[in-house]
């Protein structure tokens, strides 16, 4: 039996995993030594342990040619030599901390590996509506474009404001809508499979939208049911609802309509696992 208490915080990109991890760090959970910094669309920081981020990115880059974890995700199978990288990393973390955890959305793609190398871990899964996730990913790309033109200033800024900006959203929806929705489906299919293969008591699925009202129940679950040594931190001090991206009308731009049906069905199945 594993002596260490390990909490794996996971969920699709743009699902509230950074917010949740920031809060849990304030509650006293050790989530790493060095973190991925802030960026466009995530001004408070990602709260991602650099060691896990670099390991996951390196493996994905080798297997898919893309380290973001949003492209070429079909039939990813992690070979033994790459599994050993994660095994070594986990052993290093285990030796350093009695109670610890980490967050990286790409963890979803490695859950089958972590089931083997961390059999006693607990999993906190953050679920966010597929429309909101896809919108947030698209919005981040839109903000990146706006930032580039703002930095140029002058004529380039005027071209953006009056000519390019009105068409950029439609272009992003056409180019990335299906890609990002497929990624949401892949990540959450991995999560659902994991829930069905893990002991029920080792996983907690939470609805990102309900965090402001369920955070105390989540804290109680972690400290009472899972016996983690934490101290409650006021969630309202880290929650910034005004930073949430607006929801775009993605349905009209999704070319493969079966993706919408699959996402809706998958989301419904996962919501059945949310106790709060």
pLDDT band at 37 (very low <50, low <70, confident <90, very high): low
CA-closest candidate to residue 16, choices 223, 207, 275: 207
Domain membership flag for residue 136: yes
Query: Could you tell me which residues come within 8 angstroms of residue 139 by beta carbon, excluding any fewer than 6 positions away?
Result: 41, 245, 246, 248
- The DSSP H or E segment spanning 10 is strand 5-10
- Model pTM above 0.95: no
68 pLDDT higher than 70: yes
pLDDT, the chain, mean: 91
Domain membership flag for residue 110: yes
- Could you report the per-residue pLDDT of 119-168, keeping only the tens digit for each? 999 999 999 999 999 999 999 988 887 767 677 777 777 777 777 877 88
- The rounded percent of the chain whose pLDDT value lies above 90 is 78
- Could you report the per-residue pLDDT of 257-267, keeping only the tens digit for each? 999 999 999 99
Domain membership flag for residue 251: yes
- The DSSP H or E segment spanning 194 is helix 165-197
How many domains is the chain built from?
1
Domain membership flag for residue 276: no
- Alpha-carbon distances, residue 186 vs 63, 172, 190, 271 (angstroms): 16, 20, 6, 16
CA-closest candidate to residue 32, choices 89, 115, 80: 89
Phi, psi at 8, each rounded to 5°: -95, 115
- CATH code of residue 91: 3.40.50
- Domain holding 249, by residue range, is 5-271
Domain membership flag for residue 19: yes
How are strands ordered across the β-sheet holding 203-207? 99-103, 5-10, 122-127, 203-207
The whole-number average pLDDT for the span 16-21 is 95
Question: What is the per-residue pLDDT for 1?
Answer: 38
Whether the CA torsion 13, 206, 45, 245 is positive or negative: it is: positive
Domain membership flag for residue 36: yes
Domain membership flag for residue 153: yes
């Amino acid at each position: 039996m594993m002596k260490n208490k390990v909490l794996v915080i996971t969920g699709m990109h743009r699902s509230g995993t950074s917010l949740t991890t920031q809060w849990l760090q304030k509650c006293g959970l050790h989530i790493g030594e060095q973190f991925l910094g802030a960026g466009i669309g995530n001004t408070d920081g990602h709260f991602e342990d650099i060691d896990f981020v670099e390991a996951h990115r390196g493996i994905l880059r080798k297997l898919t040619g893309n380290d973001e974890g949003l492209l070429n995700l079909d039939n990813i199978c992690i070979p033994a030599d790459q599994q050993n990288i994660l095994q070594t990393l986990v052993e290093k973390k285990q030796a350093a901390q009695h109670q610890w955890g980490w967050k990286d959305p790409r963890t979803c793609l490695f859950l089958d590996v972590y089931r083997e190398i961390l059999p006693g871990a607990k999993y906190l899964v953050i679920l966010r509506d597929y429309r909101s996730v896809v919108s947030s990913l698209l919005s981040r790309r839109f903000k990146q474009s706006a930032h580039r033109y703002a930095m140029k200033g002058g004529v380039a800024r005027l071209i953006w404001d009056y000519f390019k900006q009105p068409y950029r959203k439609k272009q992003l929806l056409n180019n990335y809508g299906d890609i990002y929705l497929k990624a949401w489906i892949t990540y959450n299919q991995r999560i659902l499979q994991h829930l069905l293969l893990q002991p029920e008591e080792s996983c907690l699925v939470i609805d990102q939208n309900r965090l402001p009202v369920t955070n105390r129940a989540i804290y109680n679950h972690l400290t009472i049911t899972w016996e983690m040594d934490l101290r409650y931190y006021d969630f309202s001090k880290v929650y910034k609802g005004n930073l949430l991206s607006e929801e775009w009308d993605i349905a009209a731009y999704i070319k493969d309509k079966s993706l919408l049906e699959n996402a809706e069905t998958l989301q419904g199945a996962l919501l059945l696992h949310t106790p709060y």
